[in-house]
Amino acid sequence: MTDNKTAKKRIVFCDFDGTITVNDNIIAIIKHFNPEGWEKIAEQTIAQEITIKDGVGQLFRLLPSSMQKEVIAFSIANARIREGFADFLDYCKEQQIEFYVTSGGIDFFVYPILEAFNIPRDHIYCNSSDFNGDRIEILWPNPCDEHCTNDCGMCKTTIMRRFPSEQYERIIIGDSVTDFEGAKLADVVYSRSHLTVKCKELGLSHHEYETFHDIIQSMNTERKIVQ
Ligand code: MG
Ligand code: ZN
């Protein structure tokens, strides 16, 4: 087991909203622009009466495309990066750990917010958007494969399955229930907030973090034990 583990390539799948950023951007956008009827859709989504894909799609359809500029400007200005993120990216480079962003967020805020960090575009998975119609339409270029029936919208487990566990030590970093299916597949889970609660409920082993410095420290400790 130990030998096996050291031989595998480490790969990180990192959530965006509430993980790389301190806040949840989708909720912040909708709350800020406050279109009529958003609370009901948000409640149904959180209660899992409708899928995340349906919920997020419906929420953005409440906003007219003519608000493109304001919506984008607000979502970028509103975002705050979690402490230690840039150091963590350096650490991954130095340790030859592959780093991927797996985000249920939307391209118009995910890419601009991450621009300062030099992460290659093909290492960032998120949803996209279309401002050509009357209303903002969310597009879903990363759907669930045949192994997932959750209708995730942006399917984290589908992406993880492209990196088989025989070759990779799969590490997930997240904060919410939407990271839970991925956490079940992962070898190592870094969790905070709702994801921690969910892991505890179901007895899934996890490391809690508040900043990316916590994760660096934990990864260093883990390595020492392994070697
Ligand atoms: Mg999140
Ligand atoms: Zn899925």
Alpha carbon of 214 to ligand 2 centroid (Å): 29
* Ligand with smallest separation from the Cα of 175: 1
Alpha carbon of 73 to ligand 1 centroid (Å): 21
Could you tell me the pTM of the whole model? 0.93
The parts of the chain modelled with pLDDT lower than 70 are 1-6, 224-227
Alpha carbon of 64 to ligand 2 centroid (Å): 28
Residue from 192, 187, 217, 182 nearest 205 by CA: 187
Note the pLDDT of residue 6: 57
Q: What is the DSSP string of the chain?
A: -HHHHHHSEEEEEE--TTTTBSS-HHHHHHHHH--TTHHHHHHHHHTTSS-HHHHHHHHHHTSBGGGHHHHHHHHHHH--BPTTHHHHHHHHHHTT-EEEEEEEEEHHHHHHHHGGGT--GGGEEEEEEE-SSSB-EEE-SS---TT--S--SS-HHHHHHTS-TTTEEEEEEE-SGGGHHHHHH-SEEEE-HHHHHHHHHTT---EE-SSHHHHHHHHHHHHHHH-
Note the pLDDT of residue 48: 86
Alpha carbon of 18 to ligand 1 centroid (Å): 4
Alpha carbon of 224 to ligand 2 centroid (Å): 34
Alpha carbon of 77 to ligand 2 centroid (Å): 30
Note the pLDDT of residue 219: 95
* Ligand with smallest separation from the Cα of 181: 2
* Ligand with smallest separation from the Cα of 192: 1
Domains detected in the chain: 4-23+81-128+140-226 (3.40.50.1000)
Alpha carbon of 195 to ligand 1 centroid (Å): 9
Note the pLDDT of residue 44: 95
pLDDT tens-place string over residues 125-165: 999 999 999 999 999 999 999 999 988 899 999 999 999 99
Alpha carbon of 7 to ligand 2 centroid (Å): 29
Alpha carbon of 157 to ligand 2 centroid (Å): 6
